[in-house]
Amino acid sequence: MSKELIPLDLPYDLIKATAFSGLVPVELVPYVKPALEEFRNEMAAELGMPDYAQIDKGELPSRRNGQVGGGMTKKWLPLPRLCWPGIIKTGIF
Protein backbone atom coordinates (compact mmCIF):
# COMPACT_ATOMS: atom_id res chain seq x y z
CA MET A 1 0.00 0.00 0.00
CA SER A 2 1.42 3.38 -1.01
CA LYS A 3 1.86 6.03 1.64
CA GLU A 4 2.19 8.91 -0.80
CA LEU A 5 0.17 12.00 -0.07
CA ILE A 6 -2.27 13.03 -2.73
CA PRO A 7 -2.07 16.78 -3.39
CA LEU A 8 -5.44 18.45 -3.03
CA ASP A 9 -6.69 21.91 -3.70
CA LEU A 10 -8.37 21.86 -0.31
CA PRO A 11 -10.79 24.78 -0.45
CA TYR A 12 -12.28 23.73 -3.81
CA ASP A 13 -12.18 20.01 -3.04
CA LEU A 14 -13.76 20.55 0.36
CA ILE A 15 -16.55 22.66 -1.10
CA LYS A 16 -17.09 20.17 -3.92
CA ALA A 17 -17.15 17.21 -1.55
CA THR A 18 -19.72 18.73 0.79
CA ALA A 19 -21.86 20.36 -1.87
CA PHE A 20 -22.12 17.43 -4.25
CA SER A 21 -22.06 14.53 -1.81
CA GLY A 22 -25.23 15.60 -0.05
CA LEU A 23 -23.65 15.70 3.41
CA VAL A 24 -25.85 18.67 4.23
CA PRO A 25 -28.95 18.96 2.07
CA VAL A 26 -29.57 22.47 0.80
CA GLU A 27 -32.91 22.56 2.60
CA LEU A 28 -31.21 21.97 5.97
CA VAL A 29 -28.45 24.59 5.67
CA PRO A 30 -30.56 27.34 7.35
CA TYR A 31 -30.97 25.02 10.36
CA VAL A 32 -27.48 23.53 10.48
CA LYS A 33 -25.56 26.81 10.36
CA PRO A 34 -27.13 28.32 13.54
CA ALA A 35 -26.72 24.99 15.33
CA LEU A 36 -23.01 24.93 14.50
CA GLU A 37 -22.61 28.53 15.64
CA GLU A 38 -24.32 27.69 18.93
CA PHE A 39 -22.09 24.62 19.36
CA ARG A 40 -19.00 26.76 18.64
CA ASN A 41 -20.06 29.36 21.22
CA GLU A 42 -20.75 26.67 23.84
CA MET A 43 -17.33 25.13 23.23
CA ALA A 44 -15.67 28.54 23.56
CA ALA A 45 -17.54 29.20 26.81
CA GLU A 46 -16.22 25.89 28.19
CA LEU A 47 -12.71 27.09 27.30
CA GLY A 48 -13.18 30.37 29.18
CA MET A 49 -14.33 32.64 26.33
CA PRO A 50 -18.00 33.36 27.17
CA ASP A 51 -18.30 36.25 24.69
CA TYR A 52 -16.84 34.36 21.70
CA ALA A 53 -19.71 35.33 19.39
CA GLN A 54 -18.88 39.04 19.78
CA ILE A 55 -15.07 38.71 19.77
CA ASP A 56 -13.17 39.76 16.66
CA LYS A 57 -11.70 36.36 15.72
CA GLY A 58 -8.86 38.09 13.85
CA GLU A 59 -7.63 39.55 17.13
CA LEU A 60 -7.47 36.14 18.84
CA PRO A 61 -4.32 34.05 18.59
CA SER A 62 -4.71 31.10 16.23
CA ARG A 63 -4.09 28.78 19.17
CA ARG A 64 -7.31 29.96 20.87
CA ASN A 65 -9.37 29.61 17.69
CA GLY A 66 -7.81 26.18 17.16
CA GLN A 67 -8.75 25.13 20.67
CA VAL A 68 -12.37 25.91 19.91
CA GLY A 69 -12.37 23.96 16.64
CA GLY A 70 -10.38 21.10 18.15
CA GLY A 71 -12.74 20.89 21.10
CA MET A 72 -15.70 20.73 18.73
CA THR A 73 -14.03 17.90 16.83
CA LYS A 74 -13.23 15.95 20.00
CA LYS A 75 -16.87 16.12 21.06
CA TRP A 76 -18.17 15.30 17.61
CA LEU A 77 -16.01 12.29 16.69
CA PRO A 78 -17.53 9.79 19.15
CA LEU A 79 -21.09 10.45 17.90
CA PRO A 80 -20.99 8.23 14.78
CA ARG A 81 -19.48 5.39 16.81
CA LEU A 82 -22.37 5.64 19.24
CA CYS A 83 -24.99 5.78 16.47
CA TRP A 84 -23.69 3.01 14.17
CA PRO A 85 -24.81 0.04 16.31
CA GLY A 86 -28.38 1.33 16.30
CA ILE A 87 -28.30 2.01 12.58
CA ILE A 88 -26.93 -1.45 11.82
CA LYS A 89 -29.53 -3.17 14.04
CA THR A 90 -32.41 -1.35 12.35
CA GLY A 91 -31.14 -2.33 8.91
CA ILE A 92 -31.07 1.19 7.51
CA PHE A 93 -27.78 0.42 5.72
Model pLDDT for residues 20-68, shown as the tens digit of each residue: 555 667 777 788 888 889 999 999 999 999 999 999 989 999 999 999 9
Show the domain range for 61. Answer: 24-90
Question: Do the domain assignments include residue 9?
Answer: no
CA angle, residues 57, 62, 64, in degrees to nearest 5: 80
Longest alpha-carbon distance in the chain: 49
SS3 at position 24: coil
Question: Do the domain assignments include residue 10?
Answer: no
Question: Do the domain assignments include residue 14?
Answer: no
Question: Is the pLDDT assigned to residue 2 strictly greater than 50?
Answer: no
How many domains would you assign to the chain?
1
| CB neighbours of residue 43 within 10 Å | 21
pLDDT of residue 22: 58
What does the alpha-carbon distance between residue 58 and residue 25 come to, in Å, rounded to a whole number?
Answer: 30
Question: Do the domain assignments include residue 39?
Answer: yes
Question: Do the domain assignments include residue 51?
Answer: yes
pLDDT of residue 33: 83
Higher pLDDT, residue 54 or 13: 54
pLDDT tens-digit readout, 60-89:
999 999 999 999 989 888 776 766 665 555
